[in-house]
Amino acid sequence: MTGSLTIAGLGPGAEALITPEVSTALAEATDVFGYGPYVVRVPAREGLTLHPSDNRQEARRAVDAMRLASEGRSVVIVSSGDPGVFAMASAVFEALEDAPHWHSLPIRVLPGVTAMLAAAARAGAPLGHDFCAINLSDNLKPWKTIEKRLRLAAEADFAIALYNPRSVSRPDDLARAFEILMQAGCGARIVIFAHAVMTAEERITSLPLSEAIAEMADMRTLVIIGNSLTRRVGSWIYAPRRAS
């Protein structure tokens, strides 16, 4: 019996942004694992077992999914957006490092539309020139590292996409990040708050960093800080293709 493990991205929220490849994998799955709010996006049907789990259970989820796949099941692990962006694909490979007996399992990673691309499309083209993405959660890395990356990204004049900007357990991180960017001289840069992009609760706001308030973001917000040339045209925000 050969099972398989597929790590799939469900996109930012809208059904239409789930790729046909991911839809096919879900239609053929016997088991779907993932964080509860993502697993509920997969319609229940006969022959499919859903395995929702808690946010912090990534390592455990990866091992459980690999075990079922090794027993012959067609297992899909879902992430929101893209599974390789601050999500389950790395968690699976971390678990695989400790499990040599599973190294020959057939594993596929299916891409999805990550939040920053969906947010950028709504705003215009703020990622149209060089950019970087930073996960503001310091659950798995020291705050010192985040601070250094923010400072250097500002110095290099990247547009910056911030994932996981704020949470109940980390209410002050975004304010600290804004402070670092202000000190780096980015006060005039445009900040975009993209809340629940491509869902019914979508809300996009933009203003200069000097006027931005961290409380404008929550766990469902993707924050984009433009580069020094990012500008407005009509109701759009875009980064010109030439650098200064």
Interface residues with ligand SAH (CB under 6 A) are 12-13, 79-82, 85-87, 114-115, 119, 163-165, 194, 196-199, 219-222
- Cβ proximity to ligand SAH: between 3 and 226 the closer is 226
Q: What DSSP string runs through the chain?
A: ---EEEEEE-BSS-GGGS-HHHHHHHHH-SEEEEEHHHHTTSPP-TT-EEEEE-TT-HHHHHHHHHHHHHTT-EEEEEESB-TTSSSHHHHHHHHHHT-GGGTTS-EEEE----HHHHHHHHHEETTSSSEEEEE---SSS-HHHHHHHHHHHHHTT-EEEEES---SS-TTHHHHHHHHHHHTT-TTSEEEEEESTTSTT-EEEEEEGGG--GGG--TTEEEEE--TT-EEETTEEE--SS--
Q: Write down the least CB distance from residue 119 to ligand SAH, Å.
A: 6
Q: Write down the least CB distance from residue 81 to ligand SAH, Å.
A: 2
Q: Write down the least CB distance from residue 112 to ligand SAH, Å.
A: 7
- Cβ proximity to ligand SAH: between 139 and 199 the closer is 199
- Cβ proximity to ligand SAH: between 81 and 226 the closer is 81
Q: Write down the least CB distance from residue 197 to ligand SAH, Å.
A: 4
- Cβ proximity to ligand SAH: between 70 and 115 the closer is 115
- Cβ proximity to ligand SAH: between 12 and 124 the closer is 12
Q: Write down the least CB distance from residue 206 to ligand SAH, Å.
A: 14
